[in-house]
Structure 1
C-alpha cells in the first residue's frame, strides 16, 4: 500500500516512441500538422451541417456528432504524443494519467455505440424509407446521440477504476499515453482477474456493437440487391460506403489492440496500432465523409455564395 501511495503522489513517465533525437523534430511537426488538420476538418463538418439546411438530415446530424466526439478523442492523446516527441520520456501526474485513461476509453466506447446508431440510421433509410423521417425525428436523434455518450462513459468506469486501484511498483509507462495494458504491466500483483473484467466490458462494447452493425448491413445488402435499377443500387451503396470504411478502420485497429490478454503483443506494436485509431482515424473521418460527396460539395457552394453575398452587402 505504501508503494501505491508513493506512486500516486509522484508521477508516471511516458516512454513514448524510441526515436533518434534528429528525427524527433520531424515527427513532432508531422504529428502537429495531422492534429491541427484533424481539428480543422471535424470543425468544418460541424459548422457546415449547422450552417446549411440541405444537410439537416439524420445522417448528417450523426456525422456532426461523430466529428464533435473526434475533436475530444484526438485531443485526449495527441498533446501527450507531441510532448513525448519534444522531451522524450515525459512525466505525467498520476491523477492526470488515470483521468486520461478514463476519458480515452469513455470516448472510444462512445464511438463504438455511435457507429452502431449510424448503422441503424442507414438501415432505416434504405429498408424503411417511407417511415425513415418519422422513426428518426429530431427527438429520437437527440435521444440516441445522448444514449451513446451515457453508455460509453458508464462502460469505461469499471476498467478505469479497477486499473487505478492496482498496487503499482513501477513508474515508466511503455506507451505515449496512459492505456490499460501498459498501466497493468506496472502492477505488483497478478492482473488476470482485472484483464478478464476489462475483456468482458470492452468486448461487450466493441464486439456486440460490431455484430449489431454487421446484422444491420446484412439487411441493407439484401434490400439494395432487390432494387430495380443499377443506378438506385449504386446510390444506396454510396450512402453506406463512408460509414463502412470508418467502421473497418476503427474496429479493425481496436480489435488488434484490445482482443487478447494484455502483454500478448510487443510494446511497440501496441503503440503503432494505437496511432491508427487514436490519431489517424479521427484525421481520416472528415475526409472519408466529404470526399466525392455531392451533397457536401453543394452545401459548401451554397454557404460560400451566402457569405459572398453578405460581404458584398445590399
Structure 2
C-alpha cells in the first residue's frame, strides 16, 4: 500500500533483515535456535529461583524478574520475525504496530531498572553487609518492581501516543519490528517533538538507571579498595562480575541505537545492532549468570537431577 503526504496509514510493511532469499533459511535457523535458548535458559533461571530454598533471597528474586522481562522482551519481536522470514505477507496493522511499540519500549526500559535494583543489592551486600537483611527485604524488592513497571508503562504510553500521531509518507519499515526511530523516519516532516522527548525524557528514563549503576559500582570499588583484602576483592568480583557484563551488553547497544538524531539513524546498519539487542543479549543473560554463579549452577544441577532421576 503506497502512502503519500498526510494519507492515513492502516498497516505497515516490514522489509526484514535481508532481501536475499538464500540467506533466509540461515537467518530463520540461527534466530530460532537463539530464541529457544533464550526461553529455555531464562525459564530455568525462573524455575530454580522459585523452587530452590537456597535462592530465596532478594538478589535471586530480582534475577528471576530479569529473566521474565527477557522472555517477554524477545517474544514481542522474534516470533513475528520468524513468521515473516518465509511469509509473503510481511504486514502489521497500525494498531498492532503501536501495541508492539508500547510493550517493546516498556519491557526494554524495565530491564534497565531491574539491572539498577540488582546493582543496589550488590552495593548493600558489599558496602553494608551487616544491615543487608534489614535493607534488602522482599517487600522492598516487590515495591521496586511494581513501581518500576508503573513508571515504564507511563513512559511507554507517552512515546506510543507521540508516534501514533505522526503523519506517515511511507509505510515500508526497513526493520523487522515496530520501534520508535524507524517509525519516526517515515514521518512526512521532521518529528522535532518526538526527537526532543526521546533525547530528554527518554534519555532521563533510560539513562538514570545507568548512572545509578555506575554510582553503585564506584561505591563498591571504594569500599573494596579500602579493605585492602584479596579475599574481599575476589568476593566483589564474584558478586559483581556477571552483572557488569550484562550491564555493558545492554547499555552499549541501547546508547548506540537510540541516542542520536533521526537524521543520523541508519536503519540498514542499526537493524543489525537491533538483532543483538533483542535476540542475543536476552539469550546471553542466563548463560552469563549461570556460568559465573556457583549458587545458580548448584541449584540448576539439583533441579535437573530431581527432574531426570
For this structure pair, what is the TM-score category when the shorter chain's length is used for normalisation?
over 0.9
Q: CA separation in 1, counterparts of 2:114 and 2:155?
A: 14
Q: CA separation in 1, counterparts of 2:305 and 2:92?
A: 48
Q: CA separation in 2, counterparts of 1:44 and 1:149?
A: 23
Q: Which residue of 1 aligns with 2:113?
A: 113
Alignment of 1:55-134 (within 5 A): 55-87=55-87, 90-134=90-134
Q: CA separation in 2, counterparts of 1:121 and 1:232?
A: 17
Q: Which residue of 1 aligns with 2:9?
A: 7
Q: CA separation in 1, counterparts of 2:263 and 2:130?
A: 50
Q: CA separation in 2, counterparts of 1:130 and 1:88?
A: 61
- Provide the TM-score with structure 1 as the length reference: 0.93
1:107-129 deviation digits (Å, cap 9, x = unpaired): 11111111111111111111110
Q: Secondary structure at the match of 1:45?
A: helix
Q: 1:56 to 1:143 in 2, by over 3 A?
A: same
Q: Which residue of 1 aligns with 2:157?
A: 157
1:263-308 deviation digits (Å, cap 9, x = unpaired): 3132122101111111111000000110032111222333345456
Q: Does residue 173 of the first structure (1) align with residue 173 of the second (2)?
A: yes
Q: Deviation above 4 Å: which 4+ runs of structure 1? A: 2-5, 304-308
Q: Is the 8 A contact 2:18 2:24 kept in 1?
A: no
1:213-243 deviation digits (Å, cap 9, x = unpaired): 1111000111112234312320121111111
Aligned length: 307
Q: CA separation in 2, counterparts of 1:253 and 1:225?
A: 30
CA drift at 1:150? 1.3
Consecutive unaligned residues of structure 2, counting only runs of 5 or more, are none
Q: Is the 8 A contact 2:13 2:91 kept in 1?
A: yes
Q: CA separation in 1, counterparts of 2:297 and 2:14?
A: 42
Q: Is the 8 A contact 1:14 1:89 kept in 2?
A: no
Q: Which residue of 1 aligns with 2:213?
A: 213
Q: Does residue 258 of the first structure (1) align with residue 261 of the second (2)?
A: no
CA drift at 1:201? 2.1
Q: Which residue of 1 aligns with 2:32?
A: 32
Q: Is the 8 A contact 2:168 2:188 kept in 1?
A: yes
Q: CA separation in 2, counterparts of 1:83 and 1:206?
A: 30
Q: Secondary structure at the match of 1:13?
A: strand
- Provide the TM-score with structure 2 as the length reference: 0.94
Between stretches 42-51 and 166-175, larger displacement belongs to: 166-175
Q: CA separation in 1, counterparts of 2:79 and 2:135?
A: 40
